[in-house]
């Protein structure tokens, strides 16, 4: 991207706006059987034949567990402000209850100190889908007890790191675990419960609320929030079934997770979607008050809009077909007017503004300051790097989405007045991309998974330029 374009975008960034990059533990750490780490739901799921594209194994991933210093140097080299990482629950508490694993805590203790030594602000995510396996075998997030155990883990993390972590994310995308993990079976734990998976949504949200209480009780100095994925939802046609199913999908993808947290109530359910009820007889009257605990910020992950068509659809790109996928009452229709990422996701930065506008419209004064905690895309790239990798499509993607977000909250934008405080790129390095294995590359840094060599791409240097340029006067184009 020409320097003038970088300077122009940099001129739009407020002086106190946070630029960062994000990762998650299971996708980069490897070392699955080292130093007392317990197994997680994803360890067991990934070992099943055929569930990971090309049979990719997460056993080594990026070997971040042994190369964290090198990776932190890469983050620091960008000149960004912050690093979002996650703590692997089973690394610090192998069974998800009971004894702590000091070697696991020591790893994250060193990691946080390494961030601070490099001038990086830590954002710690407590849960990014890797449930300790012992808890999963006892019901996982379908069981209320998991929410209680999660609060105990959050309290210990707050006790140990509360003086150094600037921002805490309780859960990452509870919608993804509920739908992909418990409803459709394409992610861990691989259950195919369809609408019977919805108690997992409630228990995750309850775990979030209890974790907020635990962190506050630990007197952490950092801010506390949650991260949800949001997608603007529209029907594929004017037909009544597409309209009803789009309304149901909006509840299922967006409002089921945001309304309880921000408004203290579950959304009204469209008449043909009454099964979209996450509560059951184990729900207590005061659960919603716990879930509705005041937050310091709200995390938004935006990737693409959702066009809804009635009836089951094709299997999502990069995952194995499951019986549950063939039983769904609606599916994501294609948006042929847009170019797509390597995952086949439509590249539609304007909908980033739509998402922010919907948050403003729906939640108003109840919406706390917002951080876009993930923004990024995969594109086809070679497995080995031969000099500079010119990932121009990623540069264009990131620049357009950041600009759209900043314009949306600016004067005359659909989300004018929303307090947007930061933007985190997903992700630092190419990694283990869940069911897609190593076939989808999101990184600013190329990973050669045979040698583990890291090679910054053009997008890395673009973000580096942007981070530097925001501190200088803009130049004319």
pLDDT digits (tens, 9 = 90+) for 10-30: 999 999 999 999 999 999 999
Q: What is the mean pLDDT of residues 59-79?
A: 98
Residue 315 has a pLDDT of 83
Domains of the chain and any CATH numbers: 3-232+290-303+338-469 (3.20.20.80)
Q: How far is CA 57 from the centre of its chain?
A: 21
Residue 275 has a pLDDT of 59
Residue 168 has a pLDDT of 99
Question: Which helix (H) or strand (E) is 158 found in, with range?
Answer: helix 144-161
Q: How far is CA 63 from the centre of its chain?
A: 21
Whole-number Å distance between alpha carbons of 220 and 40: 27
303 belongs to an annotated ligand binding site: yes
Whole-number Å distance between alpha carbons of 92 and 85: 15
pLDDT at 353 over 90: yes
pLDDT at 385 over 70: yes
The helix/strand/coil state of 374 is strand
434 belongs to an annotated ligand binding site: yes
Residue 61 has a pLDDT of 98
pLDDT at 252 over 70: yes
Residue 474 has a pLDDT of 46
pTM as predicted: 0.97
Q: Which residue has the tokens 């997008």?
A: 459
**Tens digits of residue pLDDT in 281-324:** 667 889 999 999 999 999 999 999 999 999 998 887 777 899 99
DSSP assignment letter at 97? S
Residue positions annotated with a catalytic role? 173, 374
pLDDT at 413 over 70: yes
128 belongs to an annotated ligand binding site: yes
Q: What is the mean pLDDT of residues 221-250?
A: 97
Residue 137 has a pLDDT of 98
Phi first, then psi, for residue 254 (nearest 5°) are -120, -65
On whether the CB atoms of residues 434 and 43 are closer than 8 A, the answer is no
Biggest alpha carbon–alpha carbon distance for the chain: 63
Look at 186 and 475; give whichever has higher pLDDT.
186
Residue 96 has a pLDDT of 98
Which strands make up the sheet holding 233-235, listed edge to edge? Answer: 233-235, 306-310, 330-333
**Tens digits of residue pLDDT in 173-200:** 999 999 999 999 999 999 999 999 999 9
Locate the DSSP E strands across 102-166.
121-127
Residue 281 has a pLDDT of 64
426 belongs to an annotated ligand binding site: yes
High-pLDDT (> 90) share of the chain, %: 92
**Mean pLDDT, the chain, as a whole number?**
95
Residue 2: pLDDT band with limits 50, 70, 90 = confident
DSSP assignment letter at 434? G
Pairing of β 297-301 and β 306-310? unpaired
Residue 477 has a pLDDT of 41
Pairing of β 330-333 and β 306-310? antiparallel
Q: Which residue has the tokens 């050669």?
A: 448
């Amino acid at each position: 991207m020409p320097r003038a374009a970088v300077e122009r975008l940099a001129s739009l960034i407020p002086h106190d706006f946070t630029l960062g990059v994000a990762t998650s533990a299971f996708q980069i750490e490897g070392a699955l059987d080292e130093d007392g780490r317990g197994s997680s739901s994803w360890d067991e799921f990934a070992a099943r034949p055929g569930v990971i594209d090309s049979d990719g194994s997460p056993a080594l991933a990026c070997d971040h567990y042994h190369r964290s210093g090198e990776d932190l140097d890469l983050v620091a080299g960008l000149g960004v402000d912050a690093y979002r990482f996650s703590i692997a629950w089973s690394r610090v508490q192998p069974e998800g209850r009971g004894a702590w694993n000091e070697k696991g805590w020591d790893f994250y203790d060193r990691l946080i100190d390494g961030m601070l030594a490099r001038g990086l602000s830590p954002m710690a995510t407590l849960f990014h889908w890797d449930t300790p396996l012992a808890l999963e075998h006892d019901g996982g997030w379908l069981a209320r007890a998991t929410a209680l155990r999660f609060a105990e883990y959050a309290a210990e993390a707050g006790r140990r790191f509360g003086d150094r972590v600037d921002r805490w994310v309780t859960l990452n995308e509870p919608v993804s675990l509920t739908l992909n993990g418990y409803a459709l079976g394409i992610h861990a734990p691989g259950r195919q419960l369809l609408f019977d998976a919805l108690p997992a949504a409630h228990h995750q949200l309850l775990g979030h609320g209890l974790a907020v209480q635990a962190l506050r009780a630990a007197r952490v100095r950092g801010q506390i929030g949650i991260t949800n994925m949001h997608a603007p939802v529209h029907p594929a046609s004017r037909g009544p079934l597409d309209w009803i199913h789009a309304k149901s999908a909006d509840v299922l993808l967006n409002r089921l997770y945001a309304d309880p947290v921000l408004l203290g109530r579950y959304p009204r359910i469209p008449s043909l979607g009454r099964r979209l009820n996450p509560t059951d007889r184990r729900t207590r009257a005061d659960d919603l008050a716990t879930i509705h605990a005041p937050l310091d910020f709200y995390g938004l992950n935006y990737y693409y809009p959702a066009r809804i068509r009635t009836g089951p659809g094709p299997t999502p790109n990069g995952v194995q077909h499951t019986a549950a996928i063939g039983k769904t009452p609606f599916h994501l229709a294609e948006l042929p007017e847009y170019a797509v990422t390597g995952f086949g996701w439509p590249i539609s930065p304007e909908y980033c503004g739509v998402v922010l506008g919907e948050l403003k419209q729906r939640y108003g004064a109840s919406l706390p300051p917002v951080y876009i905690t993930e923004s990024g895309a995969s594109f086809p790239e070679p497995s080995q790097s031969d000099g500079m990798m010119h990932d121009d499509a990623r540069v264009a993607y990131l620049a357009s989405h950041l600009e759209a977000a900043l314009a949306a909250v600016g004067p005359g934008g659909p989300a004018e007045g929303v307090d947007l405080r930061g933007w985190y790129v997903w992700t630092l390095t190419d990694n283990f991309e869940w069911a897609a294995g190593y076939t989808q590359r999101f990184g600013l840094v190329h990973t050669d998974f045979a040698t583990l060599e890291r090679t910054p791409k053009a997008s890395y240097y673009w973000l580096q330029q942007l981070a530097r340029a925001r501190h200088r006067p803009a130049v004319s184009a």
